[in-house]
Amino acid sequence: MSTDPTTARYSVEGLTALSESLLHEAGIEKAHARAMTARMIDGDLLGHRTHGLAFLPTYLDRIEGGHIGSGGELETLHDDGATAAWRANRLPGAWVMGEATDLLLDRITDRAVATVTVADCSHIGCLQSYLLPFTERGLLVTLTATNPGVASVAAPGGTRGVITSNPIAMGIPTRADPILIDQCTSVGSNALFEGYAVRGERLPGKWLVGADGIPTDDPTVLRADPPGTIQSLGQTDFGYKGFGFGLMSEALSIALPGYGRRSRPDRFGQGVFLQVLDPGRFAGSDTFLDEIDHLVGSVRDDPGAAGATIRLPGERALAARRQQIRDGVVIGAEVLARLTPRANRSSTPLPTPL
Amino acid sequence: MSTDPTTARYSVEGLTALSESLLHEAGIEKAHARAMTARMIDGDLLGHRTHGLAFLPTYLDRIEGGHIGSGGELETLHDDGATAAWRANRLPGAWVMGEATDLLLDRITDRAVATVTVADCSHIGCLQSYLLPFTERGLLVTLTATNPGVASVAAPGGTRGVITSNPIAMGIPTRADPILIDQCTSVGSNALFEGYAVRGERLPGKWLVGADGIPTDDPTVLRADPPGTIQSLGQTDFGYKGFGFGLMSEALSIALPGYGRRSRPDRFGQGVFLQVLDPGRFAGSDTFLDEIDHLVGSVRDDPGAAGATIRLPGERALAARRQQIRDGVVIGAEVLARLTPRANRSSTPLPTPL
C-alpha cells in the first residue's frame, strides 16, 4: 500500500462502487450511472487524468444544477437503417454513446458504413475510450464531438471565440494494438490552460491569443474580460489549417445533429458524430490490415532522432491501461479530496489505497 | 492585352482547347482529357497555381512514361448501393473523380450517407475543385487522397518519411458561398518546399526536419541523401496531432481502398476516400444551414486583430474564381514556356493573352 497521495493506486472495483453509488444517490438511473462510471474510469486507465474521475465532482454538480438528465428518452429524428440521427435531451453522454455503439455494431453487420449523430446529450468525456469496441472487431471508427456552449477558439486573425477545441478521434484496427487517435483541433484543450492558470504558471510557448489579438504565453487571458482565445493547431503560421479541422468537427457534430451555437445553449451539452466503416466491405479486411501493419512497421523501424521516443497514437494510453488494470488506478489526491465530503454522506465509503 | 508575363491572362476556352488537344494527342481518350483539363483549369481559377495547368507538362510526361492509363475500365471491388469501392488501374484521377461524383449524387438521393473509395487512380489534383458539385446541392462532402509512392513526413521524433502531406478536404454548404476546406496535414505540401529549394530561399521557419532529426529552415534537406522530412501540422510542439490527422487520411485513402505503401508503388498513383452526407436526412437542411450560417456570421462579426484579415476557408479561392472567369485566367510564364514546344508540334496553338 502506497501512502504517497500522488502515486496511491485504487482498485477499479472500489472506484466503480463509489462512483456508481454517488451518481445514483444524486438521482441518476443505475444503467446511466454504470455507463458514466465505466467511461470515467476508462479515461483514468488510459492515463487521461483530466478526462477521468476528475469529472465526477463536476458531473455531480451538474446533476444538482439540472444540466444532466436521467430517465428521459432518446428521440429519433431520422433512421434509415444505415444512419440514425438522435436528440438526447441532455441524457448522460456516456450512456447515450453506449446506446449508439450498440446500434452501430448491430447495423454494421450487413453494410459497409453506419453512422449516428447525437444532438444535445450531456458531456461524453474521453473520446478515446469509445473507440476500442469497434477496433476490437476490426472496424474503423471516426468520432467527433463538440460543446456548442463553449467558444474559446477564434478564426485565424480573429479575437473572438467562435468554436472550441473540437476534438476529432479515430480508431484504426491493426493485427496488434489499435491506433487510437484522439486530439483537439486547437493546440490544447480548455482544461489544459485552466490547469496552467490554477498553478500560476506561464505556458511553454505563445499558445494563446489575448483579446487584443496578440499571441501570449499568459494562461490567465482566457479568464480575462474580454477573454482571449486558444490558438488553432498550427499556431500563428498555420493555424488556418487547425481552424479548418475545427470547422469540420463543427459541421459534423453541431450542424448535422442540429444542436448548436445558434440556440445559445449552456456550457454542459454536446453534439456527436460517430461513424463506423467495415474494411471487409471495401477492399477486404486482410488488405486493410496488411496496409496498416506495413505502416506501423515503418514507424517502428525508424531509429528516431537522438533522445526521441517514437510512439503511435494510443500506444502510451494502452500501456497505461494494461498496467493500471494490473496494479490499480492512480487517482490524484485532489480528486479524492473533492469526493470525500460526498463519500462521507454516502452509503459507499472512499476506497482505500492498494 | 497584357504583355507582362507574370500577369498575362488567358481565356478559359483557349486554355481548354490547348490542354484537351495536347492530352488527346498524347493518347488520352477525349472524355478523360476533358475531365483532366477541367480540373486543372479549375485549380488555376481557384488560385491554386501549383495545382492548376502547371500539372499539364508533368501529366504529359507521365502519360509518355505509362504512369497514367486511358481506355481501361473501373473495377468494382464492392458495391452495396450506399458504398462502392473501386480499383481504377491508373485511369486519370480527374475522370475517375467525375465518375465517383456522378455516382454519389445519384446514390445520395435516397439515403443519408454515400461513400466511394478509389484504389490506384492517377493523380487527382486540387481537392477543393471536387467539392462544389456537392455543396451547390446543399450536401456536406468529405474528401481525402494520398499518394502512397511518396513518403516525406516522419512520425514525431522520427527521421524517416512514412506518410506524405495527406490532404483532407471538406465542403460545407451555407446559404451564401460554401466553406471549402482543403489542407494538408503537414505544415506544407511537397510542392511548396520544392519551390523554396528551386528559388534558393530559406524557409520563414523551421518547418522541415533534417535526416538527423533536427528542425531546419533549409528546404534542400528534402533532396539530400538520406532525405529530411516535412514537419506535421503543429510543428515541434504539437506535430503529433498533425501526424494523427495524417494517419486518419492514410487509413481512409490508402488502407480502406486497398492500394498502398506495402506494394511499393511508383510516385504517380493515388488512393481516394470520398463521402457525401445529406443534412436533410439528419436534423434537416434548414437546421443545418441555420447553424452554419450562425457560425459564419460569428466569424464575420469579429473585428479581428490589428492588421489582420479574417477569411473562411475557400473565401479567397471563390473570389479568385469569379474574377478570373470574368477577366481571364492568370497562367505563369514558366508554365507556358514548358508547354510551348509541345504546342508547336500540336494542331492547337498556344492561346494569346487577353
Of A203, A154, A221, A219, nearest to B305 (Cα)?
A154
Q: Does B159 touch chain A (CB under 8 A)?
A: yes
Determine whether the interchain pair B283/A183 forms a contact, defined as Cβ–Cβ distance below 8 Å.
no
Determine whether the interchain pair A305/B214 forms a contact, defined as Cβ–Cβ distance below 8 Å.
yes
Half-sphere exposure of A171 (CA within 13 A, CB side): 27
CB B125 within 8 A of CB B39: yes
Q: Does A179 touch chain B (CB under 8 A)?
A: yes
pLDDT value, residue A7: 73
Q: Does B224 touch chain A (CB under 8 A)?
A: no
Determine whether the interchain pair B282/A212 forms a contact, defined as Cβ–Cβ distance below 8 Å.
no
Query: CA torsion sign, B173 to B177 to B182 to B183?
Result: negative
From B214, B237, B294, residue closest to A205, measured CB to CB: B237
Which residues of chain A are within 8 Å of residue B274 when distances are taken between CB atoms? Answer: none
Q: Which amino acid is at B330?
A: V
Alpha helices in chain A (DSSP H): 12-25, 30-45, 55-64, 93-107, 132-135, 190-199, 235-250, 285-300, 315-327, 333-344
pLDDT tens per residue across all 354 residues of chain B: 445 556 789 999 999 999 999 999 999 999 999 999 999 999 999 999 888 999 999 999 999 998 898 878 999 999 999 999 999 999 999 999 999 999 999 999 999 999 999 999 999 999 999 999 999 999 999 999 999 999 999 999 999 999 999 999 999 999 999 999 999 999 999 989 998 999 999 999 999 999 999 999 999 999 999 999 999 999 999 999 999 999 999 999 999 999 989 977 787 899 999 999 999 999 999 999 999 999 999 999 999 999 999 999 999 999 999 999 999 999 988 898 999 999 999 888 889 998
Collapsing DSSP states into helix, strand and coil, what is residue A232? strand
Determine whether the interchain pair A187/B282 forms a contact, defined as Cβ–Cβ distance below 8 Å.
no
Q: Which amino acid is at A117?
A: T
Q: Is it the case that residue A49 has pLDDT exceeding 60? A: yes
Determine whether the interchain pair B238/A235 forms a contact, defined as Cβ–Cβ distance below 8 Å.
yes
- Give the integer Cα–Cα distance in Å for B217 and B214: 10
Determine whether the interchain pair B305/A214 forms a contact, defined as Cβ–Cβ distance below 8 Å.
yes
Determine whether the interchain pair B282/A241 forms a contact, defined as Cβ–Cβ distance below 8 Å.
no
Q: Does A183 touch chain B (CB under 8 A)?
A: yes
Q: Does B19 touch chain A (CB under 8 A)?
A: no
From A151, A254, A281, residue closest to B80, measured CB to CB: A281
Q: How many CB pairs under 8 A join A and B?
A: 301
Phi first, then psi, for residue A197 (nearest 5°) are -65, -45
- Give the integer Cα–Cα distance in Å for B239 and B218: 19
Which residues of chain A are within 8 Å of residue B279 when distances are taken between CB atoms? Answer: 255-256
Structural domains of chain B, with CATH: 9-187+231-286+314-345 (3.30.1370.60), 188-230 (3.30.60)
pLDDT value, residue A20: 97
pLDDT value, residue B2: 44
pLDDT value, residue A72: 82
CB A80 within 8 A of CB A116: no
pLDDT value, residue B5: 59
Which residues of chain B are within 8 Å of residue A251 when distances are taken between CB atoms? Answer: 140, 170, 172, 179, 292
Predicted confidence (pLDDT) per residue in A191-236, tens digit: 899 989 999 999 999 999 999 999 999 999 999 999 999 999 999 9
CB B101 within 8 A of CB B68: no
CB B103 within 8 A of CB B116: yes
Determine whether the interchain pair B310/A281 forms a contact, defined as Cβ–Cβ distance below 8 Å.
no
Determine whether the interchain pair B258/A168 forms a contact, defined as Cβ–Cβ distance below 8 Å.
no
Determine whether the interchain pair B242/A262 forms a contact, defined as Cβ–Cβ distance below 8 Å.
no
Mutate to test the interface with A, among B108, B276, B298 (most CBs of A within 10 A): B298
Question: Could you give the C-alpha distances from B141 to A36, A244, A338, B183, in angstroms and in order?
Answer: 33, 14, 45, 14
Predicted confidence (pLDDT) per residue in A66-91, tens digit: 889 887 899 999 999 999 999 999 99
C-alpha cell at B253: 485513402
Collapsing DSSP states into helix, strand and coil, what is residue A178? coil
Q: Does B175 touch chain A (CB under 8 A)?
A: no
- Residue of chain B whose Cα is closest to the Cα of A231: B234
Pairing status of strand A168-172 against strand B269-277: unpaired
Give ∠ CA B38-B5-B326 in degrees, rounded to 5. 45
Determine whether the interchain pair A170/B204 forms a contact, defined as Cβ–Cβ distance below 8 Å.
no
Torsion angle of C-alpha atoms B270, B79, A136, A292, degrees rounded to 10? -20
Chain B segment 298-337 residues within 8 A of A by beta carbon are: 298-299, 301-306, 308-313
- Residue of chain A whose Cα is closest to the Cα of B138: A256
Q: What is the SS3 string spanning chain B?
A: CCCCCCCCEECHHHHHHHHHHHHHHCCCCHHHHHHHHHHHHHHHHCCCHHHCCCHHHHHHHHHHCCCCCCCCCCEEEEECCCEEEEECCCCCHHHHHHHHHHHHHHHHHHCCEEEEEEEEEECCCCHHHHCHHHHCCCCEEEEEEECCCCCCECCCCCCCCCECCCCEEEEECCCCCCEEEEECCECCCHHHHHHHHHHCCCCCCCCEECCCCCEECCHHHHHCCCCCEECECCHHHHHHHHHHHHHHHHHHHHHCCCCCHHHCCCCCEEEEEEEEECHHHCCCHHHHHHHHHHHHHHHHCCCCCCCCCCCCCCHHHHHHHHHHHHHCEECCHHHHHHHHHHHHHCCCCCCCCC
pLDDT value, residue B4: 57
Q: Does A287 touch chain B (CB under 8 A)?
A: yes
Mutate to test the interface with B, among A217, A273, A302 (most CBs of B within 10 A): A302
Task: Name the pLDDT band for A2 (thresholds 50, 70, 90).
Answer: very low
Q: Does A120 touch chain B (CB under 8 A)?
A: no
- Residue of chain B whose Cα is closest to the Cα of A260: B291
CA distance B190 to chain A (A): 16
pLDDT value, residue B277: 98
Of A339, A342, A336, nearest to A3 (Cα)?
A336
Which residues of chain A are within 8 Å of residue B207 when distances are taken between CB atoms? Answer: 237
Give ∠ CA B242-B243-B244 in degrees, rounded to 5. 90
For chain A, what is the radius of gyration of the CA atoms? 21
Determine whether the interchain pair B172/A245 forms a contact, defined as Cβ–Cβ distance below 8 Å.
no
Collapsing DSSP states into helix, strand and coil, what is residue A118? strand
Chain A segment 29-68 residues within 8 A of B by beta carbon are: none
Give ∠ CA B191-B72-B41 in degrees, rounded to 5. 35
> For A270-289, what is the mean pLDDT?
98
